[in-house]
DNA sequence: ACTGTTTCAGAACGATCGTTCTGGTGTAAC
DNA sequence: GTTACACCAGAACGATCGTTCTGAAACAGT
């Protein structure tokens, strides 16, 4: 058991937080459980992050960066404007199936629900997620809907959020397929107009 | 201050629970705060409900019944098949603007997020909400999409859930309008097919 | 070998919260 | 007037949890 291959405690904590907090619930997971799973002492956590909330906020920032990268790949790989806009659903499928990023549904919406009126850091992370989605979807909607791009972007954002809510609800069975179809019909509606 | 006009403690508790729990957060609201706002003693709460979770479950059941009634009214008042399917968005607008039913977003999805692995009663309430939505939307989709009614119902359910998630996210600004447009384009897509 | 840094295990503290207990008041039926 | 029931105020208990403290081990750079 050499220490050579061992990742630093901070990294282990972040990975464990991402894996456990957003899958079992943020408030439902006590700090002690994180410490046990990450094999880290309490003192180390609090020297690195200062509080559980700050760890949550940092885990959200990392998650957003990862998600953004996955989404990027699927946008650049898409063939045409429609595929680029709908790439968000393909990215979601890949991101969710990735064993390194389990989650009951959306980590950001879960944080907003579980932790109302807490650290500003967490609100900021949620705002950053929403801003990324809104800006990108608007940008990707422009070539398809022109002046009506904002409406189309709003609709695709709703289809995205509805897909996430469907995971929480457990219905329908294939949320991503339904979400993609929904967004697709929104695109067709705007192209005709 | 005669006692004549005073509602029974059980009713006051349920009304307060509906108003406070789902607006400020279920876990974020301590029992003591409910007791203070309902002007009820702790002993009374526990003789009537047995636990906070049971009170939450009962409040969810009442909320579902109220929501179902409002939705009903809008379905029967609708002019044609399309309006009947989209009536769920009009009902949402009315239900949300009703001062007696404030909420940060959806009480059922919030309960599922805030209280994972708790009382079965609460899971049952969420399941009942999803079942009501799924069955009704499927029924209302039949005259519009025939054999593809399930797909259309899934899509409208996603648009509905996305609208709720948009309230939590704060974006877009007018979620119900966007949700309605989204569902409308789904209907048109299925009518053409 | 010395020093600074990182990390550890584990106990302890303090606050919050759900729940129960004690003892009692007010009201309505008979 | 007594019995029964609904309700009250407030203290108290027990459990959980975030956080801090104590004291020490492992390791890196010089």
Domains and CATH numbers, chain B: 57-192 (1.10.357.10)
What is the Cα Rg of chain B in Å? 19
Rounded-to-integer distance, Cα A146 and Cα B181, Å: 17
Stated in angstroms, how far is B30 CA from C6 C1'? Answer: 40
Q: Identify the pLDDT of residue B74.
A: 98
Contacts of B175 in chain A (CB under 8 A): 158
Length B41 CA → D10 C1' (Å):
10
Averaged pLDDT of chain A: 94
Contact, A157 vs A134, CB < 8 A?
yes
pLDDT of residue B25: 97
pLDDT of residue B32: 97
Chain B residue numbers with beta carbons less than 8 Å from the beta carbon of A159 are 158-159, 162, 182
Which nucleotides of chain D does any protein CB come within 7 A of?
A: 6-11, 16-23, 26-27
User: What number is the average pLDDT over the span B188-192?
Assistant: 90
In whole angstroms, give the CA distance from residue A129 to residue B79.
Answer: 40
Mean pLDDT (whole number) for A129-152: 98
Query: What is the Cα–Cα distance from B193 to B170, expressed in whole angstroms?
Result: 35
Rounded to an integer, the average pLDDT of B127-148 is 98
Q: Which residues of B67-84 are buried (b: 16+ CB within 10 A; e: fewer)?
A: beebbeebbeebeebbeb
**pLDDT band at residue B5 under the 50/70/90 scheme:** low
Among left, alpha and beta (phi > 0; psi -120 to 50; other), residue A119 is beta
Strand, helix or coil for residue B51: coil
Q: Cα separation of A171 and A175, whole Å?
A: 7
State yes or no: pLDDT of B99 exceeds 90: no
Q: What percent of chain A has pLDDT over 90?
A: 90
pLDDT given for residue B160 in this prediction: 98
Overall average pLDDT of the B161-165 stretch: 98
Does the pLDDT of residue B1 top 80, yes or no?
A: no
| Angle CA B44–B45–B47, to nearest 5 | 65
Interface test with chain A among B33, B92, B104, B113, by most A beta carbons within 10 Å: B113
Higher local confidence (pLDDT), B27 or A3: B27
Mean pLDDT of A8-20: 95
Query: Smallest Cα–Cα separation from A163: which of B29, B191, B53, B162?
Result: B162
Is the pLDDT reported for residue A2 higher than 50?
no
Report the alpha-carbon angle B178-B100-B12, nearest 5: 150
Sequence-distant (≥ 6) Cβ neighbours of residue B18 within 8 angstroms = B59, B62, B63, B100, B101
Residue A98, pLDDT score: 87
Q: What is the pLDDT, as a whole number, of residue A113?
A: 97
Q: Is residue B159 scored above 80 in pLDDT?
A: yes
Q: Which two tokens stand for residue B63?
A: 């909320």
Q: Is the peptide bond before B111 cis (omega within 30 degrees of 0)?
A: no
Distance between CA atoms of residues A94 and B124, nearest Å: 31
Angstrom CA distances, A77 to A49, A64, A70, A152, stand at: 37, 20, 11, 22
Evaluate the CA torsion angle A185, A188, A190, A192 in order and state its sign: negative
Is B163's Cβ below 8 Å from some Cβ in A?
yes
Cα angle A3-A4-A6, degrees, rounded to a multiple of 5: 65
d(CA A109, CA B114): 11
Round and report the angstrom distance from CA (B43) to C1' (D13).
15
Question: According to the model, what pLDDT value does residue B2 have?
Answer: 36
Q: Which of B60, B49, B71 is nearest to B126 (CA)?
A: B60
Q: Which of residues 27-86 of B touch strand C (CB under 7 A)?
A: 27-32, 42-43, 46, 50-53
Percent above pLDDT 90 for chain B? 91
Contact A87, A75 (CB under 8 A): yes
Q: Which pLDDT does position B88 carry in this prediction?
A: 98
Question: How far apart are alpha carbons A30 and A49 in whole angstroms?
Answer: 16
Task: Determine the residue among A114, A161, A166, A183 to mutate to test chain B binding: the one whose Cβ has the most chain B Cβ atoms within 10 Å.
Answer: A161
- pLDDT of amino acid B56: 98
- Please tell me which of the candidates A28, A151, A181 has its beta carbon nearest to residue B181: A151
pLDDT band at residue A3, thresholds of 50, 70 and 90?
A: very low
């Amino acid at each position: 058991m050499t220490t050579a291959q061992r990742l630093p405690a901070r990294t282990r904590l972040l990975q464990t937080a991402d894996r456990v907090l957003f899958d079992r619930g943020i408030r439902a997971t006590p700090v002690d459980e994180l410490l046990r799973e990450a094999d880290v002492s309490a003192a180390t956590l609090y020297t690195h992050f200062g509080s559980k909330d700050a760890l949550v906020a940092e885990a959200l920032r990392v998650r957003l960066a990862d998600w953004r990268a996955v989404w990027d790949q699927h946008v650049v790989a898409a063939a045409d404007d429609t595929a680029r806009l709908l790439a968000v659903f393909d990215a979601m499928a890949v991101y969710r199936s990735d064993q390194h990023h389990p989650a009951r549904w959306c980590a950001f919406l879960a944080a907003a629900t579980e932790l109302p009126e807490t650290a500003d850091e967490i609100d900021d992370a949620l705002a950053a997620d929403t801003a990324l989605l809104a800006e990108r979807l608007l940008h990707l909607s422009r070539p398809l809907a022109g002046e009506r791009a904002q409406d189309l972007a709003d609709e695709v954002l709703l289809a995205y959020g509805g897909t996430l809510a469907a995971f929480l609800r457990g219905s329908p069975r294939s949320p991503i397929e339904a979400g993609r179809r929904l967004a697709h019909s929104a695109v067709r509606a705007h192209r005709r107009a």
